[in-house]
Amino acid sequence: MIQDKTQKEIEQIVLKWGQINSDDFKSYCTRKHLVDCLNTLIQDKNHQTPYLLSIADNPQTEHLQIEWGTYDSPFGEAFIANSNRGLVSLHFLNPDDTEQNSLNVLTQHWPCATIDHNPATVKRLGQQLFSTRKTSHSIFVYVAANPFQVRVWQTLSTLAAGHLISYGQLAALCGQPGAARAVGNALACNPIGWVIPCHRVIHSNGQIGQYRWDTHRKMAMHIWEYSHFRNSSKFI
Protein backbone atom coordinates (compact mmCIF):
# COMPACT_ATOMS: atom_id res chain seq x y z
CA MET A 1 0.00 0.00 0.00
CA ILE A 2 1.10 3.59 -0.60
CA GLN A 3 0.81 4.33 3.14
CA ASP A 4 3.61 1.82 3.81
CA LYS A 5 6.07 3.54 1.46
CA THR A 6 8.75 6.09 2.34
CA GLN A 7 8.23 9.81 1.65
CA LYS A 8 10.62 9.60 -1.30
CA GLU A 9 8.72 6.67 -2.79
CA ILE A 10 5.44 8.55 -2.33
CA GLU A 11 6.93 11.59 -4.09
CA GLN A 12 7.98 9.42 -7.04
CA ILE A 13 4.48 7.94 -7.28
CA VAL A 14 2.83 11.36 -7.26
CA LEU A 15 5.34 12.67 -9.80
CA LYS A 16 4.50 9.73 -12.08
CA TRP A 17 0.74 10.02 -11.66
CA GLY A 18 0.77 13.81 -11.80
CA GLN A 19 3.00 13.78 -14.90
CA ILE A 20 5.02 16.82 -13.82
CA ASN A 21 8.61 17.63 -12.91
CA SER A 22 10.06 17.83 -9.41
CA ASP A 23 9.97 21.65 -9.21
CA ASP A 24 6.27 21.80 -10.06
CA PHE A 25 5.63 19.01 -7.56
CA LYS A 26 7.17 21.04 -4.76
CA SER A 27 5.12 24.09 -5.74
CA TYR A 28 1.78 22.34 -6.20
CA CYS A 29 2.02 20.30 -2.99
CA THR A 30 2.30 23.30 -0.69
CA ARG A 31 -0.58 24.31 1.54
CA LYS A 32 -0.27 27.86 0.16
CA HIS A 33 -0.94 26.62 -3.37
CA LEU A 34 -4.00 24.67 -2.25
CA VAL A 35 -5.40 27.60 -0.23
CA ASP A 36 -4.83 29.91 -3.21
CA CYS A 37 -6.92 27.51 -5.31
CA LEU A 38 -9.73 27.76 -2.75
CA ASN A 39 -9.51 31.55 -2.60
CA THR A 40 -9.88 31.84 -6.36
CA LEU A 41 -12.92 29.55 -6.50
CA ILE A 42 -15.37 30.59 -9.18
CA GLN A 43 -18.55 28.59 -9.45
CA ASP A 44 -19.63 28.37 -13.06
CA LYS A 45 -23.27 27.34 -13.18
CA ASN A 46 -23.01 27.24 -16.97
CA HIS A 47 -20.04 24.84 -16.83
CA GLN A 48 -20.88 21.91 -19.05
CA THR A 49 -20.91 18.93 -16.71
CA PRO A 50 -19.16 15.89 -18.16
CA TYR A 51 -21.69 13.52 -16.63
CA LEU A 52 -25.48 13.16 -16.53
CA LEU A 53 -26.66 11.64 -13.28
CA SER A 54 -29.59 9.20 -13.13
CA ILE A 55 -30.79 7.60 -9.90
CA ALA A 56 -31.55 3.89 -9.52
CA ASP A 57 -34.69 3.22 -7.50
CA ASN A 58 -33.69 -0.24 -6.32
CA PRO A 59 -30.37 -1.78 -7.46
CA GLN A 60 -31.35 -5.07 -5.82
CA THR A 61 -34.08 -5.71 -8.39
CA GLU A 62 -32.84 -4.01 -11.57
CA HIS A 63 -32.02 -6.21 -14.57
CA LEU A 64 -29.14 -4.22 -15.99
CA GLN A 65 -26.67 -5.31 -18.64
CA ILE A 66 -23.24 -4.54 -17.17
CA GLU A 67 -19.82 -4.83 -18.79
CA TRP A 68 -16.69 -4.50 -16.65
CA GLY A 69 -12.93 -4.50 -16.92
CA THR A 70 -9.82 -2.74 -15.70
CA TYR A 71 -8.04 0.21 -17.25
CA ASP A 72 -4.49 1.50 -16.79
CA SER A 73 -5.38 5.10 -15.91
CA PRO A 74 -2.91 7.95 -15.25
CA PHE A 75 -3.46 7.22 -11.54
CA GLY A 76 -3.05 3.47 -11.49
CA GLU A 77 -5.29 0.56 -12.41
CA ALA A 78 -8.99 1.39 -12.33
CA PHE A 79 -11.96 -0.97 -12.13
CA ILE A 80 -14.71 0.28 -14.44
CA ALA A 81 -18.23 -1.08 -14.90
CA ASN A 82 -20.66 0.35 -17.44
CA SER A 83 -24.30 -0.57 -18.01
CA ASN A 84 -27.06 0.02 -20.53
CA ARG A 85 -28.21 2.85 -18.22
CA GLY A 86 -24.79 4.38 -17.64
CA LEU A 87 -21.58 4.07 -15.66
CA VAL A 88 -22.18 2.22 -12.37
CA SER A 89 -18.67 1.88 -10.93
CA LEU A 90 -15.23 3.42 -11.22
CA HIS A 91 -12.66 3.00 -8.50
CA PHE A 92 -8.95 2.48 -8.19
CA LEU A 93 -7.37 -0.83 -7.29
CA ASN A 94 -4.76 -1.49 -4.62
CA PRO A 95 -3.60 -4.56 -2.68
CA ASP A 96 -6.61 -4.26 -0.35
CA ASP A 97 -9.12 -3.67 -3.12
CA THR A 98 -8.43 -6.21 -5.84
CA GLU A 99 -10.19 -6.82 -9.12
CA GLN A 100 -11.99 -9.84 -7.63
CA ASN A 101 -13.12 -7.86 -4.59
CA SER A 102 -14.44 -5.15 -6.89
CA LEU A 103 -16.33 -7.69 -8.96
CA ASN A 104 -17.83 -9.23 -5.81
CA VAL A 105 -19.06 -5.82 -4.64
CA LEU A 106 -20.53 -5.11 -8.08
CA THR A 107 -22.38 -8.45 -8.07
CA GLN A 108 -23.72 -7.87 -4.56
CA HIS A 109 -24.88 -4.35 -5.42
CA TRP A 110 -26.62 -5.40 -8.67
CA PRO A 111 -27.66 -9.03 -7.98
CA CYS A 112 -30.20 -9.21 -10.83
CA ALA A 113 -27.87 -7.76 -13.47
CA THR A 114 -26.19 -9.67 -16.27
CA ILE A 115 -22.50 -8.98 -15.73
CA ASP A 116 -19.91 -9.71 -18.44
CA HIS A 117 -16.18 -9.11 -18.68
CA ASN A 118 -15.47 -6.91 -21.71
CA PRO A 119 -11.91 -5.47 -21.68
CA ALA A 120 -12.21 -3.91 -25.15
CA THR A 121 -15.29 -1.87 -24.28
CA VAL A 122 -13.79 -0.76 -20.98
CA LYS A 123 -10.55 0.27 -22.67
CA ARG A 124 -12.43 2.56 -25.07
CA LEU A 125 -14.43 4.02 -22.18
CA GLY A 126 -11.31 4.52 -20.08
CA GLN A 127 -9.64 6.40 -22.92
CA GLN A 128 -12.64 8.71 -23.05
CA LEU A 129 -12.85 9.22 -19.29
CA PHE A 130 -9.17 10.10 -18.85
CA SER A 131 -8.66 12.06 -22.06
CA THR A 132 -7.14 15.55 -21.93
CA ARG A 133 -9.05 16.59 -25.03
CA LYS A 134 -12.23 18.62 -24.85
CA THR A 135 -15.33 16.65 -25.73
CA SER A 136 -18.99 17.50 -26.16
CA HIS A 137 -20.09 13.97 -25.25
CA SER A 138 -21.55 13.61 -21.76
CA ILE A 139 -20.98 10.52 -19.65
CA PHE A 140 -24.12 8.84 -18.33
CA VAL A 141 -23.86 7.82 -14.69
CA TYR A 142 -26.34 5.49 -13.00
CA VAL A 143 -26.18 5.23 -9.22
CA ALA A 144 -28.24 4.65 -6.10
CA ALA A 145 -28.18 7.70 -3.83
CA ASN A 146 -30.23 9.67 -1.33
CA PRO A 147 -31.39 13.23 -2.16
CA PHE A 148 -28.56 14.93 -0.24
CA GLN A 149 -25.89 12.85 -1.96
CA VAL A 150 -27.40 13.74 -5.33
CA ARG A 151 -27.38 17.45 -4.43
CA VAL A 152 -23.72 17.29 -3.37
CA TRP A 153 -22.61 15.41 -6.47
CA GLN A 154 -24.59 17.62 -8.84
CA THR A 155 -23.33 20.82 -7.21
CA LEU A 156 -19.78 19.53 -7.42
CA SER A 157 -20.24 19.08 -11.17
CA THR A 158 -20.18 22.89 -11.60
CA LEU A 159 -16.53 22.97 -10.50
CA ALA A 160 -14.22 22.80 -13.49
CA ALA A 161 -11.13 20.59 -13.63
CA GLY A 162 -8.07 22.12 -11.99
CA HIS A 163 -10.12 23.99 -9.38
CA LEU A 164 -10.69 23.11 -5.73
CA ILE A 165 -13.45 23.70 -3.20
CA SER A 166 -13.59 23.19 0.56
CA TYR A 167 -16.10 20.95 2.32
CA GLY A 168 -17.64 24.06 3.90
CA GLN A 169 -17.88 25.92 0.60
CA LEU A 170 -19.55 22.93 -1.03
CA ALA A 171 -22.01 22.62 1.86
CA ALA A 172 -22.96 26.29 1.48
CA LEU A 173 -23.46 25.91 -2.27
CA CYS A 174 -25.74 22.95 -1.52
CA GLY A 175 -27.87 25.20 0.68
CA GLN A 176 -26.63 23.54 3.88
CA PRO A 177 -24.07 25.90 5.47
CA GLY A 178 -22.35 24.23 8.40
CA ALA A 179 -22.91 20.74 6.98
CA ALA A 180 -19.27 20.13 5.99
CA ARG A 181 -19.18 16.77 7.76
CA ALA A 182 -22.34 15.60 5.99
CA VAL A 183 -20.79 16.66 2.68
CA GLY A 184 -17.71 14.59 3.51
CA ASN A 185 -19.91 11.57 4.21
CA ALA A 186 -21.72 12.04 0.89
CA LEU A 187 -18.41 12.19 -0.97
CA ALA A 188 -17.17 9.06 0.81
CA CYS A 189 -20.14 7.18 -0.70
CA ASN A 190 -19.29 8.19 -4.25
CA PRO A 191 -19.11 4.99 -6.36
CA ILE A 192 -17.82 6.78 -9.49
CA GLY A 193 -14.33 8.05 -8.74
CA TRP A 194 -12.75 10.70 -10.98
CA VAL A 195 -15.94 11.31 -13.00
CA ILE A 196 -17.88 12.53 -9.95
CA PRO A 197 -14.89 14.62 -8.82
CA CYS A 198 -14.79 14.25 -5.04
CA HIS A 199 -10.99 14.59 -5.36
CA ARG A 200 -11.53 18.34 -5.90
CA VAL A 201 -12.75 18.84 -2.32
CA ILE A 202 -10.21 19.69 0.40
CA HIS A 203 -10.13 21.28 3.87
CA SER A 204 -10.41 25.06 4.19
CA ASN A 205 -6.94 25.26 5.76
CA GLY A 206 -5.32 23.75 2.68
CA GLN A 207 -4.96 20.20 3.96
CA ILE A 208 -5.67 17.75 1.16
CA GLY A 209 -8.03 15.64 3.31
CA GLN A 210 -9.02 12.01 3.09
CA TYR A 211 -9.77 10.18 -0.12
CA ARG A 212 -11.41 6.80 -0.54
CA TRP A 213 -8.69 5.66 -2.93
CA ASP A 214 -5.68 7.16 -1.10
CA THR A 215 -4.77 10.76 -0.31
CA HIS A 216 -1.63 10.62 -2.46
CA ARG A 217 -3.72 9.66 -5.45
CA LYS A 218 -6.00 12.61 -4.64
CA MET A 219 -3.01 14.97 -4.67
CA ALA A 220 -1.77 13.49 -7.95
CA MET A 221 -5.21 14.05 -9.50
CA HIS A 222 -5.17 17.70 -8.49
CA ILE A 223 -1.65 18.19 -9.85
CA TRP A 224 -2.56 16.46 -13.11
CA GLU A 225 -5.75 18.50 -13.56
CA TYR A 226 -4.12 21.77 -12.54
CA SER A 227 -1.29 21.34 -15.03
CA HIS A 228 -3.59 20.21 -17.86
CA PHE A 229 -6.76 22.27 -17.38
CA ARG A 230 -6.36 25.33 -15.13
CA ASN A 231 -6.87 28.54 -17.15
CA SER A 232 -7.83 26.36 -20.09
CA SER A 233 -10.99 25.80 -22.08
CA LYS A 234 -10.53 22.04 -21.75
CA PHE A 235 -12.45 20.06 -19.21
CA ILE A 236 -13.08 16.50 -18.02
**Rg from Cα positions in the chain:** 17
Let me know if 198 is a catalytic residue: yes
Which pLDDT belongs to residue 52?
Answer: 79
Closest by Cα among 149, 155, 153, 148 to 43: 155
Splitting the chain (236 residues) into consecutive groups of 10 residues, what average pLDDT does each group show? 53 67 72 81 54 85 96 94 96 87 94 96 94 72 92 88 91 93 95 93 92 88 80 44
Distance, CA of 68 to CA of 190 (rounded, Å): 18
Which pLDDT belongs to residue 173?
Answer: 92
Which pLDDT belongs to residue 64?
Answer: 95
Closest by Cα among 199, 235, 192, 173 to 55: 192
Distance, CA of 88 to CA of 110 (rounded, Å): 10
Catalytic residue among 37, 174, 189, 198: 198
Which pLDDT belongs to residue 137?
Answer: 66
Distance, CA of 214 to CA of 76 (rounded, Å): 11
Which pLDDT belongs to residue 110?
Answer: 95
Which pLDDT belongs to residue 219?
Answer: 87
Which pLDDT belongs to residue 18?
Answer: 60
CA quadruple 171, 172, 175, 181: dihedral sign: positive
Distance, CA of 8 to CA of 192 (rounded, Å): 30
Distance, CA of 87 to CA of 19 (rounded, Å): 26
Q: How many CB atoms lie within 10 A of CB 193?
A: 24
How many CA atoms are closer than 13 Å to the CA of 58, on its beta-carbon side?
Answer: 4
Which pLDDT belongs to residue 205?
Answer: 92
pTM of the model: 0.85
b/e string for 46-81 if b means 16 or more Cβ within 10 A? eeebbbebeebeebeebebebbbbbbebbbbebbbb
